[in-house]
Chain A
Amino acid sequence: MNIKADFPTLIQETDYGTPESTAEKQVTLTVDGRSVTVPEGTSIMRAAMEGGVEIPKLCATDMLDSFGSCRICLVEIEGRNGTPASCTTPVGEGMIVHTQTDRLDAIRRGVMELYVSDHPTGWNEKAGTGASEFDAVAKSVGLAENRYGVEGRNHVHEDGVAPGHGSLAVDYIARDESNPYFSYDPAQCIVCSRCVRACEEVQGTFALTIEGRGFESRMVAGMHEDFITSECVSCGACVQACPTDALREKTVLEKGMPERSAVTTCAYCGVGCSFKAEVKDDEVIRMMPYKDGKANHGHSCVKGRFAYGYATHKDRILSPMIREKITDPWREVSWEEAIAYTANEFRRIQYQYGRAAVGGITSSRCTNEETYLVQKLVRQGFLNNNVDTCARVCHSPTGYGLGQTYGTSAGTQDFDSVEFTDVAVIIGANPASAHPVFASRLKKRLRQGAKLIVLDPRRTEMVKSAHVEAAYHLPLKPGTNVAVLTSLAHVIVTEGLFDEAFIRERCDWAEFQDWASFVAMPENSPEAVSKLTGVDPELVRGAARLYAKGGNGAIYYGLGVTEHSQGSTTVMAIANLAMATGNIGRPGVGVNPLRGQNNVQGSCDMGSFPHELPGYRHISGEAVRDIYESLWGVKLDDEPGLRIPNMLDAAVDGSFKGIYIQGEDILQSDPDTKHVASGLAAMECVVVHDLFLNETANYAHVFLPGSTFLEKDGTFTNAERRINMVRKVVEPKARYADWEATQELARAIGLDWNYTHPSQIMDEIAKTTPSFAGVSFDLLDRVGSVQWPCNEKAPLGTPIMHVDGFVRGKGKFIRTEYVATDERTGPRYPLLLTTGRILSQYNVGAQTRRTENSMWHSEDRLEIHPHDAENRGIRDGDWVRLASRSGETTLRALITDRVSPGVVYTTFHHPDTQANVITTDFSDWATNCPEYKVTAVQVAPSNGPTEWQKDYNEQARQSRRIKSHLEAAE
């Protein structure tokens, strides 16, 4: 396939210079003789651009509010004095604007001449890329010479003359190369403040500033620090905003400007940011956030923007490998041999142990099309329903809880909805670390005056950071979500804060009354539950009043809600709160699960669960089975298959022997590592289809090399149900895209699959799944993205759900009785461990650990309160032993009061940490989602890694051996 034909050029997005005005009133003006009609409040600059007249500019860009500092965009307006800046001057009815006159040309050239008199380009030397906006503007204003010369005061460093040693460049500041992804060259800075404003307005971190005044003015990070040591979170917004080469991606400086690009979707978190993957000579040069991306609107985080280096990391396995025993070294083989071996093994196992002895795991990292094929392989090929997915360990309670109450297993809003939110509630999530681009949008809304309520055991960044402070932080004890949420409901009901009209119209009134009588019981009052939850009742009452009566209330939640023994109950408690206060069915409100992975929504949608066919239709439904049976030509099993933990149990019992795992590292990500290990070890054919020899692969017999998101076409579905295109920008490094590998396997076991492009898979999904009926690659190419349901009723998708009524009919209130987890603290394990993510790393770290992101987070640390640390004689940075009933591990301590006394916290990005050795096998009552967020532990000083960690590392080292080609030839 000729990629170049698919995207021959670099996508250039129009920069209108200033943000869009949303005013309804239209204003008509004349720009250079052309009549232009735009909304009131639009800048002259933007109006001109919309009318096809580009006014040169340097400090203006449509991602940022106008600033008016560069003085290049000046225009003349008939009847007005002077030469106002077109970026800061709004349009007026009947205004007559001239953008090109002799006077304007002279001023623009004059300003540009001043710029180059203090800029490397004025020194007749090649500086930067020569392809910046600055270079283009210098050309467009017709600047011919620099009459000021280069002898005067300047920021440019003369070669060979060190500043202060005869050089005139007393203002010279050395280049900052500390960030692994971009460099900052102050000599090329034109002090337009676009970087500073991007950091403030778009990202919300406020890490950059202009230091000095007048000629000395220069951008600096933090308190004149290196970027890497400043508060900078490396989101890249400043680099994107910079009109010169002062801030520039190192890859661009090293390899030159990219030549071609395609719009694709980030493969990290569930925000689903759109990027332009920019390529030169079949190599990705950089990932540029795409302004038309509906989830991110041109913003990004350090992962999506920069951390794609894993795609070319030396650890990537590019050849299929097999081995008979997991103690053997790997043997590289051809695809044909690997596929044939696998097919034979699965056939043998099913013959020997029965049809149900094999299964598959779909990946939330792969495309919808790939996920669909894996479950199809299991159902059509293995003829059982033993398919599950990693959503089991994260958001399965969301599917269950929202399905029960509202009738859909997904968030109710689009991300844009946050712009209409007055009160945001964050429960068990830290979007600043895990969903950074959404966090930036939320922070922007908070800076505009919206209020925030945070329910979290930790004082997260959202509770207090630059220009953001939560109105209420409810620092609950881990495991008490239901008690706190029910007590919020208690206040709403007993203080009469509920929305009776909404409830009567949209919900079942009798069910509401039953629920209300339950939550109103005295034992559910904030005062009564405070002993369990540790939350000041007054805070609960204040938060309840604010959420109920503070305008549009929107709830955003994460795995701190779901990964509990009462995860599903908590989701229902959230759904109840939103219904009771009428916060459903319009922009600015809703219940919004923040999905952890790029396609966790999609993998759930695609029938990855053992009891559901695509579109959340139960396998027991005859009509639904009919659709697939007639299309696939097989009789489907009408009984739900095994969930992941059940597969492992069955393996230990000897009845489950073979598994095809696409893109998931269950050994690292699933709870109770020892149990997972023994389950895997008991199987006879474990097939791991992945980019790297992950931890699970230590127990694998077949390794199939995977493809990255850059190497295939397909779709991802993000947390707002948005189906985004993934586009191939480089050829698969290991020959096959993942969907092709699955197809090869399917054919080898005798299925007649003949897909030549993922679009055909999507066509099959659309044909068989009502909520996807209108989806096709053609549609996505045309409109960019759609949110399901997308069908006849909603041909362009559904941004907000339950607008005129709940999907299930009447919204259902469900009692949410608090049942304490069996995991309790006691004398032996007096502390509660909870877990989470950090900004620069992602999940088990398979990708981010193989990028420069490790500069920010090279190990997992145990956060512990100073009081608890003092009691145990632990100092900051000490090795500590972390032990639970399940096991123990060691890591280094980080003493901080972000956690409350009695609570400890760690991330799980590094396999050395083995945090899941500690976690227990308790899980959600409804969905088996593991209780990662609560484990009773003890912490004590330690000398270093445990025996288990040492043994594990040795076993991993052994199992990763690959026979050299030479040996194989012998």
Chain B
Amino acid sequence: MSPTIYMTIYIPGDSGALALGAEKVAKATAKELAERGIAAKIVRNGSRGAYFLEPMVEVETTEGRRAYGPVKAADVKGLFDAGFLTGGQHRLALGDPEDIPFIAKQTRLTFARCGITDPVSLEDYEAHGGLDGLRKAVAMAPLDIVKQVTESGLRGRGGAGFPTGIKWKTVLDTTADRKYIVCNADEGDSATFADRMIMEGDPFVLIEGMTIAGIATGATKGFVYIRSEYPHAVATMNKAVEVARKAGVLGATVLGSPNAFDIEIRVGAGAYVCGEETSLLNSLEGKRGVVRAKPPLPAIQGLFGKPTVINNVISLASVPIIMDKGAVFYKDFGMGRSRGTIPIQIAGNVKHGGLFEIAFGLSLGEIVDEIGGGTRSGRPVKAVQVGGPLGAYFPRELFDTPFDYEEFAKRDGLIGHAGITVFDDTADMLKQARFAMEFCAIESCGKCTPCRIGSTRGMEVIDRLAAGIEPEKSLALVTDLCNTMKFGSLCALGGFTPYPVMSAITHFPEDFKPAPARVAAE
């Protein structure tokens, strides 16, 4: 072994992996290396997203990467003993990570590098195709960039699914002395973690995407608004921005071009509603995080009253590959009006939880049963909530629904930020409906009346329903309330809370029968 050639061990620094003990594994590994006098480098990569295998340790061998997982600190000594540094056999050996079915089945465009590279190494990033999109963009006219993004069919991955290119076009066409790119990284939906993974695992792709957005629209300043619950993402993004600045990717002359663009990382203060774009803008301005009425659209009067592109992390992180490989390449994936790939985040009571990037169009059943492998408890799947806490509960009968914005809307659901939560047959859907109202009550900004008062009243009426008080009247009142909230609320928080409530009532009516009847039925 030549002293100049280091062996490389990849131990994820991703929050999900850390939660599963990756830090202890890394420490044990370092200790073992020191004790054994082995000169090896530990890279804290991102996660590939197969959380059921985390912490997943990888080593670089002559035959390529070899994975082991899930690794506990106690396993480290054994792994060394088994010669895992050169791909030695061990009960935790997973072989070539690319061959792990959960990973092999994916189409990784946005997450192409996530879990593979050193997140804060710009060399590593470039070695894996990074900056190719930006290099092309700096040589293009802004309108041509906007056209390419529009033609790719990319839609906002935050949940609303608004065509990204059209939003950019509005900002490009609005004249102002200053424009902004704001990245919404206030990823607050339960069961979602795509934004966090990319920020922790491949921050440069977001920086590159935002820089392209800046060049395309004439904005010179970008903000990434990250929820405070993501300290590792904040640290990684800050580090990456610093590296990008030093390398001239950010700054007065982006990659030596006449374009100026810089990024600032901002941290939220714990309000879910600040993930709503106008609240986020208020919060960024230092104001109370309450929703603004639209119009004016942020694209025309956004941050500090200036034209602002506000996009989700995944939307922006998907731009570099579109610029690199072309609109057609990206558009060829997907179905209907949902083009490209979508990082589905599978969580809840599920066997194979994690992030699964794939072209739109997979059926919900395939995702839950085949990719997710059914429930972790082994009991039958009762319901799947798609799109976070404000998404609808889908029963098995709707498992043929393809993962597509329009198809979900047709069935009174939404794909949102593409998080899905699996429930087995022990779930009480009345409690879930109440939880939706409670969530809304806790997170309501308090500006509009349907959300401010309605969510609290919703909890109370569902409680009455649970107690068997005037069940028919209460059910009618909840239904009326949901109508008021859906059509009357100012933003999606109050407006979408009726989705989980009404879907639970519609698809699981037996859970809403008066308590004595339910007991009798059991």
Question: How far is the CB of A146 from the nearest CB of chain B, in Å?
Answer: 10
CB contact between B454 and one of A82, A114, A217 (< 8 Å): that residue: A114
The yes or no answer to A153 lying at the interface (CB within 8 A) is yes
Interface string of B448-470 (1 = CB under 8 A from A): 11111111110011000000000
B247 at the interface (CB under 8 A from A): no
A147-B473, A214-B455 are known contacts. Are A103 and B444 too (CB-CB below 8 A)? Answer: no
Chain A residue at smallest Cβ distance from B447:
A69
B490 near A69 with CB under 8 A, answer yes
**Cα distance, A110 to B457, chains bound together (Å):** 12
* A110 with B445: CB separation less than 8 A: no
Query: Are A147 and B477 in contact, with the CB atoms below 8 A?
Result: yes
Are B488 and A152 in contact (CB-based, < 8 A)?
no
Q: Does A886 contact B (CB under 8 A)?
A: no
Closest residue on chain A to residue B493 by CB atoms: A214
Choose the segment among A83-91, A248-256, A344-352, A776-784 that binds chain B (4+ C-beta atoms closer than 8 Å).
Answer: A83-91
CB of A111 closer than 8 Å to a CB of B:
yes
What is the minimal beta-carbon distance from B304 to any residue of chain A, in angstroms?
12
- B485 to chain A: closest residue by CB: A110
B293 in contact with A152 (CB, 8 Å): no
CB distance from A945 to the nearest CB of B (A): 50
B453 touches A213 (CB 8 A): no
Known A89-B295, A152-B460, A217-B446: A71·B441 in contact at CB below 8 Å: no
**Bound CA span A68–B487, Å:** 13
Assuming the contacts A82-B487, A107-B487, A107-B488, asked whether A213 and B444 have C-beta atoms less than 8 A apart, the reply is yes
- Known contacts A110-B481, A114-B449: A152-B490 contact under CB 8 Å: no
| B484 interface hit (Cβ, 8 Å) | yes
A67 at the interface (CB under 8 A from B): yes
CB pair B490–A213 under 8 Å, yes or no, is no
Answer yes or no: B229 CB below 8 A from chain A CBs. no
A88 and B480 in contact, given A69-B447, A147-B473, A217-B446 (Cβ under 8 angstroms): no
CB distance from B133 to the nearest CB of A (A): 34
Complex formed: what's the CA distance from A478 to B443 in Å? Answer: 56
Determine if A523 is an interface residue (Cβ-Cβ < 8 Å).
Answer: no
Closest approach, in angstroms, between the C-beta of B226 and any C-beta of chain A? 20
A210 at the A/B interface (Cβ < 8 Å)?
A: yes
Taking a contact as CB atoms under 8 Å apart, the answer to whether B456 and A191 are in contact is no
Query: In this complex, what residue of A is CB-closest to B457?
Result: A148
Contact yes or no, A74 B487, CB < 8 A:
yes
B483–A215 contact, CB under 8 A? Answer: no
Residue of A110, A152, A210, A217 touching B450 (CB-CB under 8 A): A110
Q: Please tell me if B396 contacts chain A, counting CB pairs below 8 Å.
A: no
Asked if residues B448 and A215 are in contact (CB atoms below 8 Å), the reply is: no
> A106 at interface (Cβ–Cβ under 8 A)?
yes
Q: Which of B288, B443, B456 has the most CB of A within 10 A?
A: B456
Interface residue A190 (Cβ < 8 Å from any Cβ of B) = yes
Say yes or no for B442: interface residue by CB 8 A criterion.
yes
Which B residues, 482 to 500, have Cβ-Cβ distances below 8 Å to chain A? 483-484, 487-490
Q: Are B450 and A71 in contact (CB under 8 A)?
A: yes
Complex contact B484–A110 (CB within 8 A): yes
* Closest residue of B by beta carbon distance from A72: B449
Best-buried of B441, B457, B483 by chain A (most CB within 10 Å): B457
Residue of A nearest to B454 (CB): A114
| Nearest chain A CB to B493 CB, angstrom units | 10
Is A117's beta carbon under 8 Å from chain B? yes
Residue A166 CB within 8 A of the other chain: no
Q: Is the CB of B452 within 8 A of A110?
A: no
Known: A111-B484, A114-B484, A214-B455. A68 touches B295 (CB 8 A): no
CB neighbours (8 Å) of B490 from chain A are: 68-69, 71, 85
Write the chain A residue with the least CB distance to B490: A68
Q: Give the residue among B288, B447, B460 with the most A Cβ atoms within 10 A.
A: B447
Q: Chain B contacts of A69 at CB under 8 A?
A: 293, 447-449, 490
Chain A contact patch, size range: 35 or more
Q: Is the CB of B483 within 8 A of A214?
A: no
Which residue, A66, A190, A215, has most C-beta atoms of chain B within 10 A? A215
**B294 sits at the interface (CB 8 A):** yes
A70 interface residue (CB < 8 Å to B): yes
| Interface membership of B254, Cβ < 8 A | no
Note all chain A residues with C-beta closer than 8 A to B444: 213-215
CB-nearest residue of chain A relative to B474?
Answer: A147
Give the CA-CA distance A74 to B293 in the complex, in Å.
Answer: 13
**A107, B483: Cβ atoms under 8 Å?**
yes
Task: Answer whether residue B11 sits at the interface, using C-beta atoms and an 8 A cutoff.
Answer: no
- A147-184 to B contact mask, C-beta < 8 Å, 1/0: 11000110000000000000000000000000000000
Asked if B120 CB lies within 8 Å of chain A CBs, one says no
What residues of A have a CB within 8 angstroms of the CB of B441 in the complex? 214-215
List of B residues within 8 angstroms of A68 by Cβ: 293, 448, 490
* Distance of A16 Cα from B489 Cα, bound (Å): 23
Residue of B nearest to A152 (CB): B460
Residue A703 interfacial (CB < 8 Å): no
How far, in angstroms, from A118 to B271 measured CA to CA in the complex?
24
Docked-complex contact B449 and A111, CB < 8 angstroms: yes
Q: Separation in Å of the B117 CB from the closest CB of chain A?
A: 40
Q: In the complex, A519→B299 CA distance in Å?
A: 51
A119 to chain B, nearest CB (A): 10
Q: A612: shortest Cβ distance to chain B, in Å? A: 51
Residues of A within 8 A of B461 (CB): 148
In whole angstroms, what is the CA distance A87 to B448 when docked?
14
Please give me the residue from chain A that is nearest to B289 by CB atom.
A213
Mark interface residues in A251-278 (1 if CB within 8 Å of B CB, else 0).
0000000000000000000000000000
A788 interfacial contact with B, CB 8 Å? no
Is A616's CB within 8 Å of the partner chain B?
no
Chain B residues in 8 Å Cβ range of A87: 293
CA distance A114 to B437 in the complex (A): 15
Distance A850 CA – B447 CA, assembled complex (angstroms):
41
**Complex: chain A residue closest to B456, CB-CB:** A215
Q: Compute how far the CA of A85 lies from the CA of B448 in the bound complex, rounded to whole angstroms.
A: 11
Chain B residue nearest to A218 (CB atoms) is B446
Also in contact, A114 and B487, with CB within 8 A (given A69-B447, A88-B295, A147-B473): no
A315 to B488, CA, bound (A): 56
A149 nearest CB neighbor, chain B only: B460
Query: Is A115 engaged at the interface, CB distance under 8 Å to the other chain?
Result: yes
Contact, CB under 8 Å: B488 / A214? no
Is the CB of A324 closer than 8 A to any CB of chain B?
Answer: no
Question: For the complex, is A827 an interface residue (Cβ under 8 Å from B)?
Answer: no
Contact call B449/A70, Cβ cutoff below 8 A: yes
Q: How far is the CA of A193 from the CA of B443 in the complex (A)?
A: 19
Per-position contact with B for A687-726: 1 when CB-CB < 8 Å, else 0? 0000000000000000000000000000000000000000
Q: Does B446 lie within 8 Å of A215, measured CB to CB?
A: yes
The residues of A that contact B484 with a CB separation of less than 8 Å are 106-107, 110-111, 114
B446 in contact with A71 (CB, 8 Å): no
State in angstroms the CA–CA spacing of A579 and B481 once bound together.
65
Give the distance in Å from the alpha carbon of A148 to the alpha carbon of B452 in the complex.
15
The answer to whether A214 touches B293 (Cβ under 8 A) is no
Q: How far is the CA of A448 from the CA of B480 in the complex (A)?
A: 43
Given known contacts A69-B448, A148-B460, A215-B441, A117 and B488 CB-to-CB distance under 8 angstroms:
no
Smallest beta-carbon distance A114→chain B, Å:
4
Instruction: Tell me if A212 is interfacial: C-beta within 8 Å of chain B.
Output: yes
A538 to B448, CA, bound (A): 50
Residues of B within 8 A of A (CB): 271, 288, 290, 293-295, 441-457, 460-461, 473, 477, 480-481, 483-484, 487-490
3 residue pairs, one from A and one from B, having the closest CB atoms? A110-B484, A68-B293, A217-B446
16 more CB-based (< 8 A) A-B contacts, given A69-B447, A114-B449: A66-B293, A69-B448, A87-B293, A89-B295, A103-B487, A106-B480, A110-B484, A111-B449, A115-B449, A115-B453, A118-B453, A210-B446, A213-B444, A213-B445, A213-B446, A214-B452
**6 A–B contact pairs at CB < 8 A?**
A82-B487, A85-B490, A147-B473, A213-B446, A214-B456, A217-B447
